[in-house]
Amino acid sequence: MTHRSEMKSDSKQLKVSDLNLDDAGIYTCSCHSPEVSISLHVLKLTVSSNGHFLANEDLELTLMQNSSHSQPHLSIELFNISDKILTTEILQNEAPQKYTLKLKQLKATDSGTWMCHVYSNSPLINQNISFDVKVLGFEEERLEIMYTTVGNTVILSWHLNFRKIEWKEGFIGKLNWEPQRNAAIHELFAFNVTTRREMHEVKKSNHIWFEISERKNDNAIEVKIPKVQLNQSGQYQCQLEINSRRIWSTRVLVVMQVSANPAGPLSRGGKMTLLCQVSGPLPSNAHLLWERVNGTQMEIKKSKQHEAKVEVDVSAPGLWNCHLMENNNRKISLNYTVEEAHVWNSYAVIGAIIGASVLVIGLACVCIITGMSWQRRRKRAKRMAQAKQYLLEKKTCQCQRRMYK
């Protein structure tokens, strides 16, 4: 102990640094005056993982004591950063020498200075032991569902707390995308954070439809999806890893789309089917609902349980709205206007048909006349050739007769 102890001669004080459990015992001061003895009772508190945790991990405290006398049974209370007494599981299998306290599922908001209060009546012990807890994680730990419609711009973000809690260990992270449940998982990009709390992007996938937003806040991971489509929905998961320990936070992107079959204006006396669909299955407390604006109760169509689409047959023009309802709360809506085809449009179509028919007939007549004219020219040329041949033969005969004479 000599290298850890210091005697102050003027005040006869003994200072012992870096106490160990073995330092407990009776210390006697011998001087000119009568001897004075003091009993030293030593408590040691050990924090699991050296006080560095990932969110949802368990905190374990070990409290040990040692003294020259019989060791008392201790009363232990644990206070968090809000000075709130926490209910913990206390294992006393090795009490009174050793106590183990367990607190399950730490949160990122638990980071800070905690206090362990130790109390005993005999001998009197009333000691507060403070210790630091750092919980690496996301500021928003709950599952977040984002609702949007086709064509909108979506920004998904995750806010990390490593700077806020002054985390000193390096770690890695990545962003994964799972289009549908049990589908192949795509790694969109990876990053790391150094011991100096600097974040660097290290790899990016070849998916060109998403953008990594410029980090205005160095604690955030942001992904931008311009003009989102139905097939870009699914689960986006940001994952952190340190020493083979992992934590993740998930954003679920739900996209709505409406369409009509056949597309375009509704012809007089015709019908069309309106389709409203969302990406992925719906939970049991959610459904889709078609309703006509200023319509009747009969003009409402509700999807079946767990179905991600609903259809409604329309025979009249009007404005229709599709709603995604969850626990009777409207999460997202999209409208579709059914327009009636104008009369002049029908006349134009009929006129176009008649005009096309006349054109076809005209072309046929031209072809026939051209063919007949070509046939006549061919026959005339043939007769002229025959006439020339006849005249040539007749002239040859006359010449032969003159020679005989």
Kind and range of the H or E element at 157? strand 154-159
pLDDT band at 209 (very low <50, low <70, confident <90, very high): confident
pLDDT band at 348 (very low <50, low <70, confident <90, very high): low
- List CB contacts of 306: < 8 A, sequence separation 6 or more: 281, 282, 283, 284
Average pLDDT over residues 289-312: 88
pLDDT band at 299 (very low <50, low <70, confident <90, very high): confident
153-181 per-position pLDDT tens digit: 999 999 999 999 999 899 999 999 998 76
Average pLDDT over residues 348-355: 66
More confident residue, 392 or 238: 238
pLDDT band at 289 (very low <50, low <70, confident <90, very high): very high
**What is the number of residues in the chain?**
405
> Which tokens is 103 given?
């607190």
As a whole number of angstroms, the distance between CA 209 and CA 326 comes to 29
Mean pLDDT computed over every residue of the chain: 85
As a whole number of angstroms, the distance between CA 221 and CA 262 comes to 42
179-193 per-position pLDDT tens digit: 876 778 899 989 999
Q: Which amino acid is at 364?
A: A
Q: Is the pLDDT at 334 greater than 90, yes or no? A: yes
pTM of the model: 0.74
What DSSP assignment string belongs to 196-221? T--EEEEEE-S--S-EE---SSTTEE
